[in-house]
């Protein structure tokens, strides 16, 4: 261990010379390069080969751009870091015990069910068994008897391991469209298999349906023989040079040659289109198209006759349009209503502008979830919608006239995670910080009656951990601009608030994603060791509606980092912990949060873990998935957005040195070699910049999982390994609890 720390303590300074400027969006022009490489005897220090780029009159030096390539030199450098990281993490005292505890949690002796869908009088679901790496698809006749379910397909069976990206049962319930990707390498490239209920392919799979950039979807026509599916460009087609972009919509007839498939939507869609599909029994299809990841939508409606109508446009601010129990459509609109209003669009209308308000904007925000088609559920005689309460959420019912109905008998504070329409009501799922998720069934009562709302224990999670010894404390911190930022602490009952307890804080703050209550199973072994857990509700999410989201995106992104810093300072001020006992962790956009925190406020924390984090904000948009991020983060082509991106970009701040003559905290950066969403070079470049600037003996580790991606579809054993690394790092770096 001492040798590892000594090796990581060495510092160096990047150097090089100028080169010709490229175009304003940061693509190097002819002759870009720099000085000859500056070599180091330390294999963990990256050589400096400066490339300069000029953005709107500002020259930006990039000494580690060479780490973006997949070359033998890069592989050797990355492998050297991996060896050091593995040696350090494997040597943490008590690591074996941590691995055993995580295995017990992840492999708990219970079956878990998710993604329940009703079709053809049957119920389909994903079933995760404790002895299986991946979830399998099942079908059951009765929600009360999942033990009698029939296995449809186990994607991990056989010599080729796969994971299910999504599945869609046919309306008659006799077949299923299942997108499956290779699970071993995490690359998220899915083929659509059309299978019978015995798991056999009915025909060769449809290729290029799903990727980790724009994802993908499918939906069936009422005849259960025609399917609409998304597809990425294929060799020889237009845009084949960008195979992870340019998603389009196609129609396929079961049994027909795929060469005869018809493109339904494509030329009218943007380069970064993301498409979610739904259909109804009347033969109509709705295509919800998102412009990248920034929360701007268009909706296209296909009539039974096959004619497409564009119902709205990006600026109309309608995140959800869905089918109901009649031919009319239901909308959630945020136009002049940032917390959302429920609207109705009659079936004869050809524009969402003709919709009328049924439930006006209220004090709380309506939750929409693009990937799960969450918005308004029409149960026949009433409407259901989930409302955000600043982190926790609740389910509310309305008469079709818009009149609010009595509150439902749900526990609080909780998260309501989903609503699934059933012929006689709906299913929903709730969770909390200290209780496992519970699935509920609501059955519509006779007109004027409340109906019944009962739990389904057979489809709910059993309690695999005991968190009865912890309090859930909800507080707020005051951000730099005076905004009140909520956070939640999972705190040992009766523990003294004297600053002696280590804590770990996490956050996200992006894409309008809400941080909601759920059992922090990944932190339970740390909770058992006396480390408290802090969950934050930062701007950039939608905990208080679209205004909360917009206050943390584009040129306002710095607010997210200020919010997190305010929470960290507040929990220290209130004696929950101390700066030398505080750890932080986040992934993806949350990894960006960690990178920003340690380069802006390294003095606030003792240890930091950034998983698959975005670190170079000036070049991220040059990657396929980075193009999808532009509506959320902005682009260097815009002068104001470039200024904001450059100001907080963790990589560039690390290159500039450590603020306040401090030092970076102990840092672990983790990434997957095959990540299609956040390129692994972000973590590589950040590691190189931090090590070159570091002046203290705090370790800076880079761990790359060669057979992993962004974490989507990771198998159980891989999840156990990654969680064990997380816990081992914080046990190593944070002082023991009193």
Residue 448 has what pLDDT? 57
* Comparison of pLDDT for 479 and 663, the residue scoring more: 479
Which of 212, 244, 268 finishes a domain? 268
Is a pLDDT exceeding 60 seen at residue 289?
Answer: yes
Same domain, yes or no: 154 and 203: yes
Tokens 């995490």 locate to: 186
Query: Number of structural domains, the chain?
Result: 2
Distance (Å, rounded) from C-alpha 96 to C-alpha 374?
Answer: 41
* Comparison of pLDDT for 404 and 661, the residue scoring more: 404
- In whole angstroms, what separates CA 75 from the centre of its chain? 28
Q: Is 278 helix (H, G, I), strand (E, B) or coil?
A: strand
Residue 317 maps to a domain: no
Residue 552 maps to a domain: yes
Q: What is the CA radius of gyration of the chain?
A: 26
pLDDT band at 21 (very low <50, low <70, confident <90, very high): very low
Is a pLDDT exceeding 90 seen at residue 529?
Answer: yes
- In whole angstroms, what separates CA 487 from the centre of its chain? 19
Same domain, yes or no: 145 and 86: no
Spatial contact of 734 and 531, defined as CB atoms under 8 Å apart:
yes
Same domain, yes or no: 652 and 590: yes
Q: Which residues contact 38 (CB under 8 A, 6 or more apart)?
A: 14, 15, 16, 47, 48, 49
**For 490, how many CA atoms within 13 A lie in the half-sphere containing its CB?**
29
Most trustworthy range by pLDDT among 389-398, 646-655, 688-697? 646-655
Distance (Å, rounded) from C-alpha 564 to C-alpha 560?
Answer: 6
Q: Which residues contact 656 (CB under 8 A, 6 or more apart)?
A: none
Average pLDDT of the chain is 88
Residue 29 has what pLDDT? 30
Average of pLDDT values for 593-602?
97
Residue 183 maps to a domain: yes
Residue 589 maps to a domain: yes
Count CB-CB contacts under 10 A for residue 111. Answer: 18
Residue 431 maps to a domain: no
Same domain, yes or no: 82 and 147: no
DSSP state of 716: H
Mean pLDDT lowest among 56-60, 72-76, 521-525, 713-717: 713-717
Residue 371 has what pLDDT? 67
Q: What does the block give as tokens for 211?
A: 């990727």
Find the domain containing 527 and state its range.
2-14+64-104+465-733
Q: Which residues contact 285 (CB under 8 A, 6 or more apart)?
A: 219, 221, 228, 277, 278, 279, 301, 302
Is a pLDDT exceeding 50 seen at residue 707?
Answer: yes
Distance (Å, rounded) from C-alpha 671 to C-alpha 68?
Answer: 13
Same domain, yes or no: 517 and 599: yes
pLDDT band at 186 (very low <50, low <70, confident <90, very high): low
Same domain, yes or no: 119 and 96: no
Residue 55 has what pLDDT? 97
Residue 285 maps to a domain: no
Q: Is 574 helix (H, G, I), strand (E, B) or coil?
A: coil
Nearest by Cα to 328 from 306, 352, 300? 352
Is a pLDDT exceeding 70 seen at residue 374?
Answer: yes
Distance (Å, rounded) from C-alpha 213 to C-alpha 187?
Answer: 10
Residue 23 has what pLDDT? 28
Q: What is the pLDDT of residues 11-20, one digit of tens each?
A: 222 233 222 2
Same domain, yes or no: 82 and 117: no
Same domain, yes or no: 89 and 167: no
Which of 241, 268, 295 finishes a domain? 268
Residue 32 has what pLDDT? 31
In 3-state terms the chain splits into helix, strand, coil percentages (rounded to 5) of 25, 30, 45
Average of pLDDT values for 265-273?
94
Distance (Å, rounded) from C-alpha 98 to C-alpha 49?
Answer: 41
Q: What does the block give as tokens for 701?
A: 């580790």
Residue 532: which CATH number?
Answer: 3.40.50.1820
Residue 1 has what pLDDT? 23
Spatial contact of 398 and 405, defined as CB atoms under 8 Å apart:
yes
Is a pLDDT exceeding 70 seen at residue 183?
Answer: no
Which of 268, 283, 309 finishes a domain? 268
Residue 672 maps to a domain: yes
Helix or strand run (H / E) with residue 359: strand 356-359
Distance (Å, rounded) from C-alpha 60 to C-alpha 485?
Answer: 34
Q: Which residues contact 95 (CB under 8 A, 6 or more apart)?
A: 89, 724, 728
Distance (Å, rounded) from C-alpha 702 to C-alpha 695?
Answer: 18
Residue 647 has what pLDDT? 98
Q: What does the block give as tokens for 571?
A: 């929990």
Q: Which residues contact 318 (CB under 8 A, 6 or more apart)?
A: 297, 299, 312, 331, 332, 333, 334, 335, 352
Q: Which residues contact 617 (CB under 8 A, 6 or more apart)?
A: 592, 633, 645, 646, 648, 649, 650, 651, 652
Q: Is 124 helix (H, G, I), strand (E, B) or coil?
A: strand
DSSP state of 14: -
Spatial contact of 697 and 113, defined as CB atoms under 8 Å apart:
no
Distances 89 to 3, 86, 584 between C-alpha atoms, Å: 13, 5, 17
CA angle 498, 593, 315 (to 5 degrees): 130
Distance (Å, rounded) from C-alpha 148 to C-alpha 16?
Answer: 67
By CB atoms closer than 10 A (0-12, 13-18, 19+), residue 640 is exposed
Count CB-CB contacts under 10 A for residue 109. Answer: 10
Q: Is 729 helix (H, G, I), strand (E, B) or coil?
A: helix
Distance (Å, rounded) from C-alpha 201 to C-alpha 5?
Answer: 54
Is a pLDDT exceeding 80 seen at residue 360?
Answer: yes
Q: What does the block give as tokens for 285?
A: 């299809």
Average of pLDDT values for 674-694?
89
Average of pLDDT values for 570-585?
98
Residue 192: which CATH number?
Answer: 2.130.10.120
Phi/psi at 302 (5° precision): -100, 125
Strands 532-536 and 503-506: parallel
Residue 714 has what pLDDT? 56
pLDDT band at 35 (very low <50, low <70, confident <90, very high): very low
Q: What is the pLDDT of residues 38-84, one digit of tens each?
A: 444 567 889 999 999 999 999 999 999 999 999 999 999 999 999 99
Is a pLDDT exceeding 60 seen at residue 369?
Answer: yes
Same domain, yes or no: 589 and 485: yes
Tokens 């809400």 locate to: 514
Residue 546 maps to a domain: yes
In this prediction the pTM is 0.88
Same domain, yes or no: 198 and 96: no
Nearest by Cα to 416 from 390, 440, 439, 395? 395
Same domain, yes or no: 92 and 145: no
* Comparison of pLDDT for 34 and 692, the residue scoring more: 692
Same domain, yes or no: 708 and 577: yes
């Amino acid at each position: 261990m001492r040798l590892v720390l000594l090796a990581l303590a060495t510092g160096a300074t990047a150097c090089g010379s100028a080169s010709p400027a490229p175009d304003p969006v940061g693509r190097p022009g002819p002759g870009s390069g720099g000085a000859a490489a500056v070599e180091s005897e330390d294999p963990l220090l990256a050589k400096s080969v400066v490339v300069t780029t000029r953005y709107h009159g500002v020259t930006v030096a990039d000494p580690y751009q060479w780490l973006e390539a997949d070359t033998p030199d890069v592989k050797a450098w990355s492998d050297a870091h991996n060896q050091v990281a593995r040696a350090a993490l494997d040597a943490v005292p008590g690591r074996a015990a941590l691995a055993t505890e995580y295995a017990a949690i992840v492999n708990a002796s219970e079956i878990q069910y998710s993604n329940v869908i009703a079709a053809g009088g049957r119920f389909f679901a994903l079933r995760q068994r404790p002895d299986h790496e991946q979830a399998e698809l099942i079908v059951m006749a009765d929600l009360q008897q999942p033990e009698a379910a029939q296995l449809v397909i186990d994607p991990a069976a056989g010599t080729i391991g796969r994971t299910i990206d999504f599945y869609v049962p046919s309306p008659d319930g006799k077949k299923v469209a299942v997108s499956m990707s290779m699970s071993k390498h995490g690359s998220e490239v899915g083929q659509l298999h059309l299978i019978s209920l015995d798991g056999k392919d009915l025909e060769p799979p449809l290729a290029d349906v799903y990727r980790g950039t724009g994802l993908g979807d499918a939906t069936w026509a009422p005849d259960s023989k025609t399917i609409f599916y998304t597809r990425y460009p294929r060799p020889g087609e237009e845009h084949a040079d960008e195979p992870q972009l340019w998603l389009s919509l196609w129609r396929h007839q079961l049994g027909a040659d795929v060469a005869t498939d018809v493109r339904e939507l494509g030329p009218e869609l943007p380069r970064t289109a993301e498409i979610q599909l739904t259909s109804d029994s009347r033969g109509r299809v709705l295509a919800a198209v998102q412009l990248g990841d920034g929360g701007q939508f268009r909706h296209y409606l296909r009539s039974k006759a096959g004619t497409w109508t564009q119902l709205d446009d990006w600026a109309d601010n309608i995140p959800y349009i869905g089918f109901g129990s009649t031919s009319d459509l239901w909308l959630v609109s945020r136009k002049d209503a940032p917390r959302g209003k429920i609207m109705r669009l009659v079936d004869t209308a050809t524009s969402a502008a003709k919709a009328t308000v049924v439930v006006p904007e209220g004090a709380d925000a309506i939750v929409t979830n693009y990937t799960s088609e969450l918005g308004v559920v029409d149960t026949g005689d009433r409407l259901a919608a989930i409302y955000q309460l600043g982190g926790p959420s609740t389910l509310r019912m309305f008469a079709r006239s818009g009149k609010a109905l009595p509150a439902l008998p749900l526990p609080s504070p909780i998260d309501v995670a989903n609503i699934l329409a059933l012929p006689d009501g709906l299913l929903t799922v709730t969770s909390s910080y200290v209780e496992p998720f519970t699935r509920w069934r609501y059955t519509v009562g006779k007109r004027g009656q409340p109906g019944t709302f009962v739990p389904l224990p057979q489809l709910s999670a059993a309690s695999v951990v005991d968190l009865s010894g912890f309090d859930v404390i909800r507080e707020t911190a005051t951000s730099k601009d005076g905004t009140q930022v909520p956070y939640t602490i999972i705190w040992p009952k009766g523990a003294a608030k004297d600053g002696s307890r280590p804590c770990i804080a996490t956050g996200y703050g992006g894409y309008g994603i809400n941080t909601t209550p759920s059992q922090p199973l990944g932190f339970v072994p740390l909770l058992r060791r006396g480390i408290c857990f802090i969950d934050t509700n930062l701007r950039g999410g939608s905990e208080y509606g679209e205004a909360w989201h917009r206050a943390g995106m584009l040129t306002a992104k710095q607010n997210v980092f200020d919010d997190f810093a305010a929470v960290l300072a507040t929990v220290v001020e209130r004696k929950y912990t101390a700066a030398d006992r505080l750890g932080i962790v986040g992934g993806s956009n949350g990894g960006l949060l960690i990178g920003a925190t340690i380069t802006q406020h390294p003095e606030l924390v003792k240890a930091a873990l950034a998983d698959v984090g975005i670190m170079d904000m000036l070049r991220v948009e040059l990657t396929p998935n980075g193009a999808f991020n532009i509506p959320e983060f902005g682009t260097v082509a815009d002068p104001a957005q470039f200024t904001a991106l450059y100001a907080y970009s963790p990589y560039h701040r690390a290159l500039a040195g450590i603020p306040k003559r401090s030092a970076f905290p102990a840092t672990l950066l983790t990434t997957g070699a095959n990540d299609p969403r956040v390129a692994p070079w972000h973590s590589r470049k950040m590691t190189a910049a931090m090590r070159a600037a570091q002046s203290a003996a705090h370790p800076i580790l880079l761990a790359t999982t060669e057979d992993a991606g962004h974490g989507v579809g990771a198998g159980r054993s891989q999840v156990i390994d990654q969680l064990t690394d997380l816990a081992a790092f914080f046990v190593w770096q944070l002082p023991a609890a009193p």
